[in-house]
Amino acid sequence: MNEQIKTNPDISFTSIYYRDLNNGPWIGINERELFSPASLIKVPLLITYYKLAENNPDILDNKIVNTELFNPKDQNIVPEITLSQSQEYTVSELLDRMIIYSDNQAYDLLLKNIDNRKLIETYNNLGVDISLGFENPNGNILSVKQYASFFRILFNASYLSKDMSEKTLGLLSRVKFSQALVAGVPSNILVAHKFGERQYTDTGEKQLHDCGIIYLPNKPYLLCIMTRGKNIPIEENFVKQISSMVYQNISGQ
């Protein structure tokens, strides 16, 4: 697999993190390289809201009015369903839209309606250093190994309660993006994941990431792949190929 990664001319850089969720061994390739997390940061915001809901369930029923009109230029991978202007949504509905459709509007509304210190507290409590994001939110601030810890902690229910961890992973299993990590495994295999994509107009660089848990029966594993290149569809296919190689290797053991 290392040789395929090195010789792919369409991918300028990639990082991979794999972890066996049964007994813990992990493998990393460039796992400390920093990338822009882009929409991957929606997962810690989701975790933050669900953590607050453990003590105050009513927070999920709070209503927020969307005051902005959707602009398709805001996202390269456009959500299948978008928010309506001037419509009222519950926090729970916005969390669903933010994760399932990776809706940036839903993310912005949720972020504006929470004490930012609570979100930072989540990062700190989970041991993820987000300090670089204070200086350059759109820059390369998180590694594949750092980000994978969110999914490991959800799988082990070591931060959220068991019920909330399962609720979070259940929502992540409904993500409407199947061109990368999900495409590399059979359709009957459940995948709880989140993707992110970022384009830099000044350099033309495009980053595509997909991270999650593949629920291979009796052999669940965590796989997180981050890429840099010039073409999102090519990066999607690359992630699909890596996902497929890992699945075939693990399922054949």
Per-residue pLDDT tens over the stretch 100-110:
999 999 999 99
Q: How many residues does the chain have?
A: 253
Q: What is the pLDDT of residue 237?
A: 95
**What CATH number should be reported for the domain whose range is 2-251?**
3.40.710.10
Q: What is the pLDDT of residue 2?
A: 53
Residue 251 to residue 153: CA distance in whole angstroms: 23
Q: What is the pLDDT of residue 10?
A: 79
CB 130 within 8 A of CB 43: no
Q: What percent of the chain has pLDDT over 70?
A: 94
**Region 49-69 average pLDDT:** 94
Q: Is the pLDDT of residue 74 over 70?
A: no
Residues 165/182/14/229 CA torsion (nearest 10 deg): -120
